[in-house]
Chains A and B, each alone.
Chain A
Amino acid sequence: MENSSSIENTFVQNTSGHGYPSTRKGWVLRGLRDGFPICMGYFAVAFALGIEARRVGLSAFQSFLMSTGMVASAGEFAALMLIESHAGVIEMISTCIIVNLRYFLMSCSLSQKLKSSLPSIHRFGVAYCITDEIFGLSSAVPGYLEPLYSYAITFISVAGWSGGTVMGVLVGNILPASAVNALSVSLYGMFLAIIIPPAKQNRFIGGLVAVSMAVSWVFSILPLTMGISSGFKVIILTILLAGAAAVIKPIDVENET
């Protein structure tokens, strides 16, 4: 990404030649299409979240506010835990920062996909669109990101996310336990769908994913580390392992995806 004109050339080529939209309307339609599976996946995951929200004592409306305002899976589970334990403001803020720190890292990463000249209003807008899945799609487009693409994905995804949460609160208790149990893994299925295809393409990423899972497992059984909260564990391992990966195999700046 040395000079921006070469990026723009690549962008034009890619948008016209390799199936990526070349118009703003095209990006919106593409976003709605790409966002649809996320919407379905979010609905299933959020449903499980809604069941938990009801147990903690949130109304359907409060759950709707939480899901629409936060749009964070692990973050909202943590939020419910904090509400349940009547946590103080300091504890709420610090836990939210830790559990959601990966969004900070994703935001740093996505900042590199925005044109330097992009108006601030779009930066406020794209900031709302940073979730694991939407970030994954947004950073996968060639060249600069068209904010409308992220907005379209987010619009349809958040509809599924907030709708799922509300449905979980309203009808979650009439669902059999076996179905709730099954829904609980949908989130992890989505995570696998994001990390495995690149791991298939790139052996180093594949190895990194395997090592990350292995170390995460070791952390969960070692007496010294098993007491670490899951949010904090994600931060420690991300900094250590992504840092080590960056030292061992720095990316080729020219050919970065």
Chain B
Amino acid sequence: MTNNIYFSLLIMCLTVYMIRLLPLLFLRKPITNRFIRSFLYYVPYVTLAVMTFPAIITVTDNMWSGAAALAVGLIVAWVNGDLFVVAISCCATVFLTGFIF
């Protein structure tokens, strides 16, 4: 079992690294196609938005805590924008609303 874990980790670490490496290694020239450039530009926004919602309201014990964390996160990100401040605000919201819900 122990060897199995090391083997699994090796396989998966290599796979993840190759995913990150191959485009950087082989895409040496600027992409001129406007559609592809636009597509790549929008990718992170869609990916992160899809991963955030609805996961943020289902990951907590109580969905209202998650919903409150989402609302607070949106507001703090809008006003302040700092990574750490937003993350901590969300955590604090879940912790504090945990006493209510």
Contacts and interface: CB of A to CB of B under 8 A. Distances in A.
The reply to whether chain A is a binding partner of chain B is yes
B11 A189 contact: no
Interface in B19-78: 19-25, 27-31, 34-56, 59-61, 65-66, 69-70, 73-74, 77-78
A83 B44 CA distance: 28
Interface size class of A (residues with CB under 8 A): 35 or more
Contacts of B6: 62, 65
A162 interface: no
Given A66-B9, A93-B11, A246-B42, 11 more contacts: A37-B85, A40-B84, A44-B87, A44-B91, A101-B19, A177-B61, A185-B56, A190-B83, A195-B52, A234-B51, A242-B42
B13 A194 contact: no
A187 to B, nearest CB: 8
B16 A72 contact: yes
B29 to A, nearest CB: 7
B50 A190 contact: no
Contact of B83 (A41, A198, A242): A41
A37 B84 CA distance: 5
B60 A181 contact: yes
Contacts of A130: 20
B8 A92 contact: yes
Interface of B: 1, 4-6, 8-9, 11-13, 15-17, 19-25, 27-31, 34-56, 59-61, 65-66, 69-70, 73-74, 77-78, 81-95, 98
Contact of A127 (B17, B34, B88): B17
Contacts of A249: 38
Interface string A192-234: 1111111110000100111011011100100000000010011
Contact of B78 (A120, A188, A200): A200
Nearest to B59: A184
A157 to B, nearest CB: 10
Which secondary structure dominates chain A's binding surface? helix
A112 B5 contact: no
Interface stretch (A16-24, A103-111, A164-172): A103-111
B74 A192 contact: yes
A124 B5 contact: no
B67 to A, nearest CB: 11
Given A112-B31, A213-B53, A182 B98 contact: yes
Given A62-B5, A66-B9, A183 B47 contact: no
Contacts of A256: 37, 41
Contacts of B35: 246-247, 250
A65 B48 contact: no
Given A106-B43, A189-B88, A197-B77, A69 B9 contact: yes
Contacts of B8: 79, 82-83, 87, 92
